[in-house]
Homo-oligomer: A and B are copies of this chain.
Amino acid sequence: MVYTELDPPTRLLLGPGPSNVPPRVLRAMATPVIGHLDPAFLQLMSEVQSLLRYVFRTRNWLTLPISGTGSAGMQAALVNFLEPGDPVLICVNGYFGERMCEMAARLGATVHRLERPWGEVFTPEEVDKALQRHPAKVVAMVHAETSTGALQPLEGMAQVVHKHGALLLVDCVTSLGGVPVLVDDWEVDIAYSGTQKALSCPPGLAPITVGPRAEEVLKQREHKVQSWYLDLTLVQQYWGMERTYHHTAPVSMIYALREALRIVHEEGLERRWARHQRNAELLWEGLQELGLELCVPEPYRLPTLTTVKVPEGVNEAYVRRRLLEDYNIEIAGGLGAWKGKIWRIGLMGFSSRRENVVLLLTALRRILQNPS
């Protein structure tokens, strides 16, 4: 077998992630590697933590990137705060809520589901009632459902959850850096994300932040965390003051994350959220002008990821293939219950640009004129 020079096609990434990575971040990854215990690296780690606190809008001391992708973040968030037999209430309105149930069940938690049709969101009142029926140690929900494009409002949610003595755990994979994620204001106890969405860093790390209530729960655990690799107490001994070796940090990915966060910091979160909103609105308008129907009504429509119904008689996979092959544009199809029925269009981080919206709409118009 001959292994040729690496030369992948140049794609415009408008799917549910990864998004396009800014040249500065790519260049940061090409920086020569240093040791994971080098004093210079320890300094970079502190900066990454400080920048993560900025994007999460939190003062949580326990804020760091897990050495795995967003799903490793989900796994870490569940396995550290749930012990076998612990009751958890999981809000399910899409594919990633389902994934949480699957992960929580595997680690031995008792899973109670609060369900809503795909594309809808939950109210604090519903969560309150559900907790009256099923007390839980943790209430888990998805802030930005990547499978449906729905944005879960979080105002008032923690108050209800805390009233019942539970922790609020939130999946921010497709929201962090693109729409407001206000961990301290909203009193979210545990939040995690991925790097490859609105932060526009390559996939491979999962930022996580843990508030004081959740830290206390971690300290009070009866059994050791099943996963040694994701044990936040051990991971924190490396990222915290002790700097005790746990596992070898993914140095180049940390370089990339630092640069991606530096770019977020330079732009400023408010301007970044506004840019995501502006470009998303341009996209929504353009899609509707093409006669396409959006899946989620505006108050809950996610600016980072838009879901569109595939019109009757249109071959959804064919349209995506034409976009990819003729225009080098990646968008995605549906997951699970919505497979074959929708398209998912991401405008995240570096990919959220006016010129990308215009190009996509033009390409879509041309393809839909001859859709088979």
Contact residues of A with B, CB < 8 Å? 1, 3, 6, 8-11, 13, 15, 17-18, 20-21, 26-41, 44, 47, 50-51, 67-72, 74-75, 79, 99, 102-103, 106-108, 194, 196, 202-204, 224-229, 245-253, 255-256, 258-259, 261-262, 265, 324, 330, 332, 335
CB of A82 to closest CB in B, whole Å: 12
- Neighbouring B residues of A33 by C-beta, 8 Å: 13, 18, 20-21, 26, 196, 202-203
A-B residue pairs in contact (CB < 8 Å), sample of 26: A3-B262, A3-B265, A6-B28, A8-B34, A8-B41, A11-B34, A11-B35, A11-B38, A18-B248, A20-B32, A26-B32, A27-B30, A30-B30, A33-B202, A67-B72, A69-B247, A69-B250, A71-B229, A71-B248, A74-B229, A99-B228, A103-B228, A106-B227, A203-B250, A203-B252, A253-B253
Q: Are B35 and A228 in contact, with the CB atoms below 8 A?
A: no
Beyond the given A8-B44, A11-B32, A203-B248, could you list 16 further A-B residue pairs with CB under 8 A, ordered by the A residue number? A6-B258, A8-B32, A8-B40, A20-B33, A26-B32, A27-B30, A71-B229, A71-B248, A79-B227, A103-B229, A106-B228, A107-B226, A196-B248, A226-B227, A227-B227, A252-B253
Q: Are B31 and A26 in contact, with the CB atoms below 8 A?
A: yes
- Neighbouring B residues of A228 by C-beta, 8 Å: 71, 75, 99, 102-103, 106
CB of A95 to closest CB in B, whole Å: 10
CB of A239 to closest CB in B, whole Å: 14
Q: Are B245 and A335 in contact, with the CB atoms below 8 A?
A: yes
Q: How far is the CA of A262 from the CA of B27 in the complex (A)?
A: 21
Q: Are A34 and B9 in contact, with the CB atoms below 8 A?
A: yes
Q: Are A68 and B71 in contact, with the CB atoms below 8 A?
A: no
- Neighbouring B residues of A258 by C-beta, 8 Å: 3, 6
- Which single member of B27, B36, B107, B229 contacts A203 (CB below 8 Å)? B36
Q: How far is the CA of A102 from the CA of B75 in the complex (A)?
A: 19
Name which residue of chain B comes closest to A325, CB basis.
Answer: B39
- Neighbouring B residues of A50 by C-beta, 8 Å: 1
- Counting chain B CB atoms within 10 Å of each CB, which of A3, A69, A245 scores highest? A3
